[in-house]
Every structure is written in C-alpha cells, then in structure tokens.
Structure 1
C-alpha cells in the first residue's frame, strides 16, 4: 500500500452544485465537466449533460461509457433494442458496441456520463473548438469531419446526423 503522505493531494477537489471543471474552450449550457481526463490521470472523465439533441449511432472503440439519469427520460438503442431510462436508472455501454441516445422528456433529460479511460471531455472540447468547420451547409454536423476529430479518442459515428447548439 502506498504511503499516504506520498499521494498527490493536488488532485483532490470539491465542486459546489452547478460548478464544473475548467475546460480548454467554453462549453455551451447543458454540458458540464465534473472530472477531466487530466484530473484523473487519464483514468476517466465525468460529464453532466443535458441531452438537447439526439446522438446518432456511434462506437467508442476504447472507452466504456456509464450513463446515470439524474432527471427526465432518455432512450438508448443497443443491439437492436430500445431501452427507456428514467430518473435513477443507469446503463453501461461497453466499448466496441454501437449505440445511440435520444431525449424522451421535456425538459430534456439530464444525465451523468462516466467514460473510462478518459478522453470524452477532450473530444467534446475538440468538437466545440472546431465550431462551424465541422458543420454541413444545413447546420448539422458533418459526421466525416467529426469522425476525423474522434479518431484519436477511438470515437466513431456510424450513421445519422446531429445538430449541435
């Protein structure tokens, strides 16, 4: 067992309600990073998200994703079955398996998302940093360009379109 005096105290922090960790670029309302990949030395990333848009089918080749519904309802498509999650429910989405997510309530569902290993927060930052350069003329995300951003994180959309506000 490591000597407690040798543990990195500088990684400890407490967040107040509504508080988030600093990100490289500003994230829009509805996205809140609670633990960055850097905070956890790459082990995980924790985000609190409001699902304002449907997330088309995608695959995390490297990350397992755990979703816990805080408020509202969402649907997850996984291996040909749609699962409806309500407040207090959760789902583990193993890496390598395509899945999709949809809001199923008003106001939109709020969920805690834990990804391991980390990197999901960095992918989200990269997408918002890219801004209009990854959009189609119609305003939806160009999945080919999004997939190019996601390649370094093992993240790939398999089909569909997504608006990002």
Structure 2
C-alpha cells in the first residue's frame, strides 16, 4: 500500500470533495482514496431514499444510531444499531428513516462513486424534487452516470 494513501480521520472529520455536502453527510473515504475500489459515507437519513437499483455497485449499510427500514423484494427489514444489510447490485431496494432523531449509518459502495453521485445531487439542488417529492426523471438523469435507476 502506498504511504500516501494511508488515512486517519478524527471523529466528525470528513474528506474534502468537489462541493460541500450537507451536515450529516460525511465522506470518510473517497473513490480516489481507494483506487476506485469503494467509497464510505457516514449519513444521517434525513430523507427517505425511493426505490432504486444499483446496476454496478454493491451497497453495504451499517446502522450506527437510530433505526431505519430497508425494503427489498416486497419485505421491509427494520435495522437498529449494530445491524447491517448487504444490498447487491441488480436488486431494487429503498431506505427509510424509522426514528427520531434520524438514523445514522455507514454506507459503503463497491466499487466507489457514491460520494460523486451525492455531490451531483447537491449541485442539482431543489431540481431533484418536484412538488415536495423526489423527481424520478431528474434522479435518473443524474444516476445514469453511476449505473443507478430510480423506480416509480
């Protein structure tokens, strides 16, 4: 392992990115840090993530605080601190907060790219919502670059 890739972050510290991410969304390892192998984000689940499919990346979610629900194949799985879920590529799924304060989790994407998708969403701003709901057409425009597809 090249020494220049060695990385230690303090509690609350995040990796800098192309654009500032909102509070509660902290990049712990960027795709570039891992030579494309993975990306790690610590997220507070402030908004529900509608049904979607990752066509290339596997997603791993580990709950740190609170509770969240993961919908897969018509079944809702409630995850609490210490629980995790592997969401393989090609499997449609949705994520929902199920606690107050909102759930906090680690999300690992392999291969990486997840943090770049989140940055693109932040750049799009309010355009990703229509009438208070996620704009699936706009999400799919942004997600196509990352092999993601949102479902109605």
TM-score over 0.5 for the alignment? Answer: yes
* Shorter-normalised TM range: over 0.9
State the SS of the aligned residue for 2:122: helix
Shift of 1:141: 3.1
1:34-53 alignment runs, 5 A limit: 34-53=28-47
**What stretches of structure 2 of length at least 5 have no aligned partner?**
none
TM-score after normalising by structure 1: 0.89
Shift of 1:139: 4.0
User: In structure 2, how many angstroms separate the alpha carbons of the residues matched to 1:52 and 1:13?
Assistant: 28
| Moved segments of 4+, more than 6 Å | none
Say which of 150, 153, 157 aligns to 2:143: 150
The alignment status of 1:109 with 2:88, answered yes or no, reads: no
1:117-128 alignment runs, 5 A limit: 117-128=111-122
Structure with more of its chain in strand, by fraction: 2
Say which of 41, 48, 54 aligns to 1:54: 48
TM-score after normalising by structure 2: 0.96
Aligned residues: 152
Larger Rg: 1
State the SS of the aligned residue for 1:24: coil
State the SS of the aligned residue for 2:137: helix
Say which of 116, 125, 129 aligns to 1:135: 129
Cα-Cα RMSD: 1.0
